Structure 1
């Protein structure tokens, strides 16, 4: 099995003034001081804070997060500047990040104790991919990419305003300074993007110049007489892929259709990006349709090759875990997923994300004998989805317009109009997000044909013979209700529109419950539960992104022009709790052209046009 775990750094703290990496034979920062070096080389070298003043969003891209001092110094400079940009986005890649304990040790005597403590508190599990850490109520974000910089820089989608070139010395870590990597960095630059580094390595300076940067030497820091600064001034500006351009770069207001988990996640992320949001729903309250179940699970997934689904679900689950901690919303934390196909000793741990447990240990955690080993997701769990949606909507400050069905939308100059069934205009907005579930299929147009309506029935046992100490999933799931009962389910029938609770479905749910609990007999219970409907895509991934501009589809999703100011966020299936936070972050990034919280390959995997493009590529006949 390919592990998504990252190899952490080993740090030598024997010299407190200059922590070192035994693996690379180099120190993390100059002995004259990490913050002083960051302020002279990277902040002043990039013309900050002056250059971010007057900006709504400002993006810093760094190679080599190391101990995080450059981020802390930049965050501190932002805090101290009364004319600062509204939002600071700091993107950094790191192949060997520190363990949380080592990070805390590195900053035990930090001159910025409050900021350092927040960084340590939000430090993510060391799993491959992108992690979004939010600070200052979302006005400062750290997008931390864990993995090989040569791979991650190719997959990042962002516009960099300033670049920090910081890694171990070129002669100790040449892959971080070569022409190939610097060319990857240049793809994220625009005219005026600046670069700063303490190094004056000649091949590095030549590579920067070859990629359109005006390179100069400047006074260095401490014992280094010189350093390198540069400004992107290409002779010609390559056209950016149409599918990666912001969909509503100048919008300051958004309308979201749907007050369920998807819409709430979008409203929160858009509000944190500085937009005023209005959320429409046809029902009298938030989360009363697909998101209205009394309890639901959230967790990541694993597969042998750490493929698209595993990577997307891991990123989404970790985003949910972080947001729930930030919101302080009560929930059942920790989840067991039974695994019948792999032996316990074949299941590698990914610290902080997932841990394999043999059957006896899993049984102790569940409170009942289990026949199989299990994955323990310590950051997963169960929650009331409606409570989660309401918490996101409250945190967003969005205006709610309930009992207001939207029958259609149409394009007008500068935006989109929402129409009632009688054709009356309900609202006009520069950015429209279609985040409804099955009740809003008519608004999706041709996309609706790619989706399946799936009925699900959840059952309730008021006096449950087994109330799991942790939510348990496998063939079905079981969640204690906290009152002596349990929720279990759920069925899945495509195209079934029957709203009535059915005895046959209840029997199926109770049979699964009995198998999970290891009971010898299926318990009996009065018919009770809830019926709901999901929208499911053929590949079991959501639809998040812009819709095609008029005309034939481009040969690649990344080249496809999109209709400005229009984004779809739907088809969450049974994973609305897990996906909502990440989906909202992605919608906000796509709308405003901010750093995407997912790699380019995963952006393509959830693109709403992916099915149409596949049909176009399929040979006729």
Structure 2
């Protein structure tokens, strides 16, 4: 589903005690104070901090992020509570988010200056969809959904423990209070989920009661004598779709097979969720296969319909940008991607994420004459993928078991066992993640059907006639090596397992480099570079998720039961750097059942079972009588 462009909020700060939204004719919070209001209404009304104490994870779902004061108050309460839950996940939707400078203005005199400063620093570009902002070394997570709540709530995959109902007044913002929206909220509730709001709207309370909530009134805040509180107590326990059940909710140990970008990212995300990881790889060191290239690009994509590919790549690139900054990795920041199909007039910038540049503007940035306009991704760039993988592994604290090929898997009483070629047990754990590349195809069984192993060769120019000022991609790519040389590439040959550098491939790479650089003839340099292999799915998206449980296959991915304790994270094509961070976060969420960092449509788009489902549907149609 195409998401509408984000329209930022316009905020009236003329009354510092009560910033207002002119578009809604309402204020963001009581003049008696935003944080006291949040603590009384939303924390107190949901029994917090008491209800999260002793829990492994606790999820809050809020309608209307506004200025972010409810999040800051909840984060502060978590921080101050010695019996706090291990992880706090705060999910909030906002149709009209503030620009970063307005958010900074709103919190210039915050009573929580440290937390407010961290929120402002982490504030994402205002692009549609979910943004995962991490604090407290990942123990506090803000999953910020930008867009229309009526669309986003349908697409969120989570089970909330507490609901904060905090839109503008029902008379001024009815879309956030009607029965349709409250029904969407109830889908994310489980028996015992609580809700609170400053509003005592009778239609709202009747709607909540009809949806299975026990609704009551409590003393209100400041000039409001009453407020509403509720507890979800349906007559019948709602069933979650089988395909959305957590795969290893109680796991404290995991084995990740693969020490490249995918495996390292999974180990990091799982470790931050309280799961100790062992990473196994057949090779003698981390990032020695596809992830071992000396340089690689990361960036999003743009397409006119903003379809699943563009939305997944955008979310992944922004997640990478945040993680690379957090890890403090050296990188070449900023990336140009030439646009050869659309004229400049048809290209639209998205603030903070991508800028449409004329050929002249792009040329000035690249340091050479370019024939086409370009997209500039200020948060994209290039880095050393092996260094990125090693940094993630180090941050994860994972135990490495290298030089150890895994030949088979088998279920065991406490999860899964991994076997060597002789059938001996290498390791066992309640959770196993297969996160390698083409070398793991024998472990995938039927899921390997249709996957393509693609050879790629990149070339090195030790003394380049042109070193791009920023990494550039188009027909091929070029990256400065920092020593007066450049890397360029890369070729694509399906099913070709030749590991040797080939002169013909170098000629092809240098011709692309010359076209990017505007050279009359390609440079003449000695054969030098690297060969690697990509694992590519037919639709050019990764495979991330659980594998089908034995039995009758369901006709929908969301209804398909999965094998407990087993996850796949592979098929990264040429986008390992761009995809790894988000993929690891998704693996951890799927395993433990915490709020997913992607909308349901995008979960389906990367589900490993999508191709088997499509084949089954085609077979069913083919079997129908004419």
Question: What TM bracket, shorter-length normalisation?
Answer: over 0.9
Aligned counterpart, 2:54: 54
In the TM superposition, what whole-angstrom CA distance separates every residue of 1:172-206 from its partner, at most 9, and x where no partner exists? 00000000000000000000000000000001001
In the TM superposition, 1:291-370 aligns within 5 A as 291-370=291-370
Aligned 8 A contact 1:4 1:127 in 2: no
In the TM superposition, 1:80-91 aligns within 5 A as 80-91=80-91
* TM-fit CA distance, 1:445: 1.3
Aligned 8 A contact 1:568 1:608 in 2: yes
Aligned counterpart, 1:19: 19
Aligned counterpart, 1:620: 622
Aligned 8 A contact 2:3 2:128 in 1: no
Which has the larger displacement, 401-410 or 594-603? Answer: 401-410
User: 1: CA distance between counterparts of 2:215 and 2:5?
Assistant: 38
Aligned 8 A contact 1:4 1:306 in 2: no
* TM-fit CA distance, 1:450: 2.6
In the TM superposition, what whole-angstrom CA distance separates every residue of 1:550-580 from its partner, at most 9, and x where no partner exists? 0121010000000000000000000000000
The answer to whether residue 435 in structure 2 is matched with residue 408 in structure 1 is no
Aligned counterpart, 1:585: 585
In the TM superposition, what whole-angstrom CA distance separates every residue of 1:487-520 from its partner, at most 9, and x where no partner exists? 0000111001111111111111001101111111
- CA RMSD in angstroms comes to 0.8
Aligned counterpart, 2:240: 240
User: 1: CA distance between counterparts of 2:463 and 2:308?
Assistant: 40
Which has the larger displacement, 65-74 or 396-405? Answer: 396-405
Aligned counterpart, 1:219: 219
User: 1: CA distance between counterparts of 2:384 and 2:440?
Assistant: 23
User: 1: CA distance between counterparts of 2:418 and 2:407?
Assistant: 8
Aligned counterpart, 2:543: 543
Aligned counterpart, 1:501: 501
Aligned counterpart, 2:37: 37
User: 2: CA distance between counterparts of 1:399 and 1:409?
Assistant: 20
In the TM superposition, what whole-angstrom CA distance separates every residue of 1:222-244 from its partner, at most 9, and x where no partner exists? 00000000000000012110000
Aligned counterpart, 2:115: 115
* TM-fit CA distance, 1:414: 2.1
Aligned counterpart, 1:100: 100
Aligned 8 A contact 1:163 1:194 in 2: yes
Number of equivalenced pairs: 620
Distance change >3 Å, CA 4–CA 583, structure 1 → 2: farther
Aligned counterpart, 2:462: 462
* TM-fit CA distance, 1:3: 7.9
In the TM superposition, what whole-angstrom CA distance separates every residue of 1:219-271 from its partner, at most 9, and x where no partner exists? 00000000000000000012110000000011111100000000001000000
Aligned counterpart, 1:438: 438
In the TM superposition, what whole-angstrom CA distance separates every residue of 1:72-104 from its partner, at most 9, and x where no partner exists? 000000000000000000000000000000000
Distance change >3 Å, CA 510–CA 3, structure 1 → 2: farther
Aligned 8 A contact 1:456 1:532 in 2: yes
Distance change >3 Å, CA 181–CA 3, structure 1 → 2: closer
The answer to whether residue 552 in structure 2 is matched with residue 552 in structure 1 is yes
Aligned counterpart, 2:201: 201
Aligned 8 A contact 2:4 2:147 in 1: no
Aligned counterpart, 1:10: 10
User: 2: CA distance between counterparts of 1:395 and 1:445?
Assistant: 32
TM-score norm. by structure 2 comes to 0.98
SS of aligned partner of 2:184: helix
In the TM superposition, 1:375-524 aligns within 5 A as 375-524=375-524
In the TM superposition, 1:252-263 aligns within 5 A as 252-263=252-263
SS of aligned partner of 1:200: coil
Aligned counterpart, 2:607: 607
Q: Gaps spanning 5+ residues in structure 1: where?
A: none
Aligned 8 A contact 2:64 2:93 in 1: yes
Aligned 8 A contact 1:78 1:84 in 2: yes
SS of aligned partner of 1:620: helix
Aligned counterpart, 2:287: 287
SS of aligned partner of 1:291: helix
In the TM superposition, what whole-angstrom CA distance separates every residue of 1:304-345 from its partner, at most 9, and x where no partner exists? 100010000000000000101111111010000001111222
User: 2: CA distance between counterparts of 1:317 and 1:55?
Assistant: 32
Aligned 8 A contact 2:195 2:230 in 1: yes
Q: Gaps spanning 5+ residues in structure 2: where?
A: none
Aligned 8 A contact 1:107 1:116 in 2: yes
In the TM superposition, 1:124-143 aligns within 5 A as 124-143=124-143
Aligned counterpart, 2:570: 570
Aligned 8 A contact 1:254 1:275 in 2: yes
Aligned 8 A contact 1:20 1:27 in 2: yes
SS of aligned partner of 2:581: helix
In the TM superposition, what whole-angstrom CA distance separates every residue of 1:272-331 from its partner, at most 9, and x where no partner exists? 011000000011110000101000000000111000100000000000001011111110
Aligned 8 A contact 1:4 1:350 in 2: no
SS of aligned partner of 2:292: coil
Which runs of 4 or more aligned residues in structure 1 lie more than 2 Å from their structure 2 counterparts after TM superposition?
Answer: 2-5
* TM-fit CA distance, 1:524: 1.1
* TM-fit CA distance, 1:19: 0.2
